[in-house]
Amino acid sequence: MYAAFSIYFAKYFFPGANNTAQLINTAGIFAVGFLMRPLGGYFFGRLADQKGRKTAMAISVLLMALGSLLIGLLPGYHQIGIAAPLLLLAARMLQGLSTGGEYGASATYLSETATSGRRGFYSSFQYVTLIGGQLLAIAVQLVLQVFVLSESQLQEWGWRIPFLLGALLSIAAYGLRNRMPESDAFENETMQLNKRGSLRALARHPKAVMTVFGLTLGGTLAFYTYTTYMQKFLVNTSGMSRHQSTLLLFAALLLFAALQPLFGLLSDRVGRKPLLIGFGIAGSILTVPLLGQLSHTNDPITAFALMMAALVIISGYTSINAVVKAELFPVSIRTLGVGLPYSITVAIFGGSAEYIALWCKQAVAKRAFYWYVSACIFISLIVYIFMRDNSRNSYLDRNM
């Protein structure tokens, strides 16, 4: 919601600047929120490994409700001055803390509750629901744009509606999570409580930790480039209207979500490594030409085709990255092992994607960002080539 509606509330918190500068300011706060993710990954990772996956996921979604509610109620710069963007920053930090805990706990829970031989398929639904959240935000935006509010009403107060709705949905999610059964893998864990989810225990798996860093680097940057940033890219670089960009992104993300289980099923048949290598090769070669063509077209059909080409490539990563990471760690440190290095990598590369892209555009060097994304994917490709495919020899199939 923050990414989708920042084109409306940027002026509310940062008046007086040009359009690109306002988006850079809101993107900067978006990126700072990501810096809280490692803290969330550590805190909720330990909590999930010690008290259970269910407990960590229930508490993390309450923090998301609080952050969304705060953004929805904030007065603007003209009412409270510099306190307005500072409070916006505080709300994003709460959301970052929450999201840092979400990934590791949910990836671990889905991987542990899936049956052997179908883990790629079941774990792919983590990104189905992640993309589903983006789709819901865009759907709310479309309804408000087309049927409910004028452009001026959206900029004045209508942008608050999705954040208040998000707070209500987070409370509903808390009720659902509270009724989930705990995973059998956690229930059967016999390691002493003080050794579960500890950094000392995690330090015994340095290769797995570094693999998570390398696995995530290119994939998370590509994902945030073609989803979170893409709406602004279509408006600010390609020259499309906000309404056009919203419709295009909604349609592309809908198909992107549908691709995840298909790629997950494929990984259960052929292994995880071929899909990751396919993403790495195609992403390294095609990122620059795809983004270059997108920047020069204002034809909706061409733009949609280019976006879908990119999202098909990225599906080789998004569909299976959760289970690949979960397969690297024993149950006693699985959530911490998945969540902490992932959160650090996303904070550095995923959260900064939009900010770096807008900065490059303002510096009249937008193609530098395209090469930056391509280079990061290539680094991940090297990791994919040399890593071991654990789909047939997984920690998830062991007692520890």
Q: Can you tell me the distance from the alpha carbon of 72 to that of 98, in angstroms, rounded to the nearest whole number?
A: 17
Please report, in tens digits, the pLDDT of each residue of the chain (400 residues total): 887 787 788 888 877 655 666 667 777 777 777 788 899 999 988 888 888 888 899 999 999 999 999 999 999 888 888 888 889 888 988 988 998 888 888 888 888 888 777 888 988 998 898 888 888 888 888 888 888 888 888 888 899 999 999 999 989 989 988 888 888 888 777 666 656 777 788 888 899 899 999 999 999 999 989 988 888 888 878 888 877 888 898 899 999 999 999 999 999 999 899 999 999 999 999 999 999 999 888 889 999 999 999 999 999 999 998 888 888 888 888 888 888 999 899 888 887 888 788 888 877 777 899 999 999 999 999 999 998 876 666 666 664 4
Give me the pLDDT at residue 133, please: 86
Q: Which two tokens stand for residue 64?
A: 């998301």
Report in angstroms the alpha-carbon separations of 204 from 188, 210, 214, 260.
Answer: 22, 12, 18, 32
State the residue for tokens 């603007």.
76
Q: What is the pLDDT of residues 135-145, one digit of tens each?
A: 888 888 888 88
Give me the pLDDT at residue 6, please: 79
Q: Can you tell me the distance from the alpha carbon of 22 to that of 148, in angstroms, rounded to the nearest whole number?
A: 25
State the residue for tokens 């840092």.
100
Q: Can you tell me the distance from the alpha carbon of 45 to that of 355, in angstroms, rounded to the nearest whole number?
A: 28
State the residue for tokens 């759907």.
139
Sequence-distant (6+) residues with CB within 8 A of 285 are 374
Give me the pLDDT at residue 21, please: 65
- Secondary structure class of 80 (helix, strand, coil): helix
Of residues 352, 310, 314, the one with CA closest to residue 130: 314
The pTM assigned to this predicted structure is: 0.82
DSSP 143-161: HIIIII--HHHIIIIITHH
Of residues 123, 117, 104, 94, the one with CA closest to residue 33: 94
Give me the pLDDT at residue 15, please: 75
Q: Can you tell me the distance from the alpha carbon of 70 to that of 230, in angstroms, rounded to the nearest whole number?
A: 26
Q: Are residues 13 and 76 in contact, defined by beta-carbon separation less than 8 angstroms? A: yes
- Secondary structure class of 296 (helix, strand, coil): coil
Q: How far apart are the first and last CA of the chain?
A: 39
Q: Is the dihedral of CA 301, 127, 170, 228 positive or negative?
A: negative
Q: Are residues 198 and 46 in contact, defined by beta-carbon separation less than 8 angstroms? A: yes
Of residues 99, 61, 43, 65, the one with CA closest to residue 335: 43
Rg (C-alpha) for the chain, rounded Å, is: 20
Report in angstroms the alpha-carbon separations of 180 from 53, 138, 339.
Answer: 10, 28, 20
Give me the pLDDT at residue 293, please: 93
Angle at CA of residue 221, ends 112 and 318, nearest 5°: 30
Give me the pLDDT at residue 400, please: 43
Q: Can you tell me the distance from the alpha carbon of 91 to that of 220, in angstroms, rounded to the nearest whole number?
A: 23
Q: What is the pLDDT of residues 233-289, one digit of tens each?
A: 888 788 888 778 888 988 999 999 999 999 999 999 998 999 999 999 999 999 999
Helical residues (DSSP H) of 230-365, grouped into ranges: 230-236, 242-270, 272-295, 300-318, 321-326, 334-345, 353-362
Phi, psi values for residue 199, rounded to 5°: -65, -30
Helical residues (DSSP H) of 36-82, grouped into ranges: 37-51, 53-73, 77-80
